[in-house]
Chains A and B, each alone.
Chain A
């Protein structure tokens, strides 16, 4: 069975602070993909990153960075120098790479509020 846990339901920080969103997953599959999506108040889910289970290199994209640690089954997301526009709900998701697996298994989401 697959499961994604985002233990932080809500986080509130002041602008320019760094913030890390935690994601822990469970799967018995050896090959899988992990995703992060952003859902701003407008509603649409915005794809942020996709990472496969064999690539443990950390990734940085501007103010965003991701730390994938297979040993602890975690795929954490850090926003550096947060901005008000980063306020959104963030979902971590898992998808095994096996035949017939179509569904993204989402975590419950973390609501991030950046205060000016």
Chain B
């Protein structure tokens, strides 16, 4: 099973709503990622979790709150979003964070991506 699943596929929310995006993988991967992708742009990294601990936060506004309840699940809690937050939110996982063979050596772990949640903020 090399699949990363994301729910919901589409989400429309108002600026005062609270919603959550969910991501799940059963590949035994210990690193999970959230990316944001605006239309016609490449993905931008938001957060990285390694062994269920937040490892990287790319200066994301606090209205986005990630959570990793266990090694298979990754959530992104949304609150008081702005229309400019409308985008495709992609989840990814990899066997580990960094490189196979340690930092400064080895091969980067490849990331497996889910299909994304297309979020519209009205």
Which residues of A does B touch, CB under 8 Å?
33, 42-47, 50, 52, 91, 93, 95, 97-100, 102-104, 106-109
Contacts and interface: CB of A to CB of B under 8 A. Distances in A.
Interface of B: 4, 40-43, 45, 48, 55-56, 58, 88, 90, 92, 97-99, 103-108, 110-116, 118
Given A102-B55, A107-B42, 14 more contacts: A43-B88, A46-B113, A47-B111, A50-B107, A50-B110, A91-B43, A93-B42, A97-B104, A97-B108, A98-B103, A102-B45, A104-B45, A109-B40, A109-B42
B11 to A, nearest CB: 13
B103 A100 contact: yes
Contacts of A102: 45, 48, 55-56, 97-98
Contact of A44 (B40, B110, B114, B118): B114
* Pairs of residues from A and B, 3 with the lowest C-beta to C-beta distance, nearest first: A106-B42, A99-B103, A43-B116
B120 to A, nearest CB: 14
Nearest to B88: A43
Contacts of B88: 43
A42 B88 CA distance: 11
Contact of B107 (A33, A46, A106): A33
A106 B37 CA distance: 11
B40 to A, nearest CB: 8
Contact of A47 (B43, B110, B118): B110
25 contacts: A33-B108, A42-B115, A43-B90, A43-B116, A44-B4, A44-B90, A45-B43, A45-B111, A47-B111, A47-B112, A50-B107, A50-B110, A52-B107, A91-B42, A91-B43, A93-B42, A97-B99, A97-B108, A98-B104, A99-B104, A102-B56, A102-B97, A106-B43, A108-B42, A109-B41
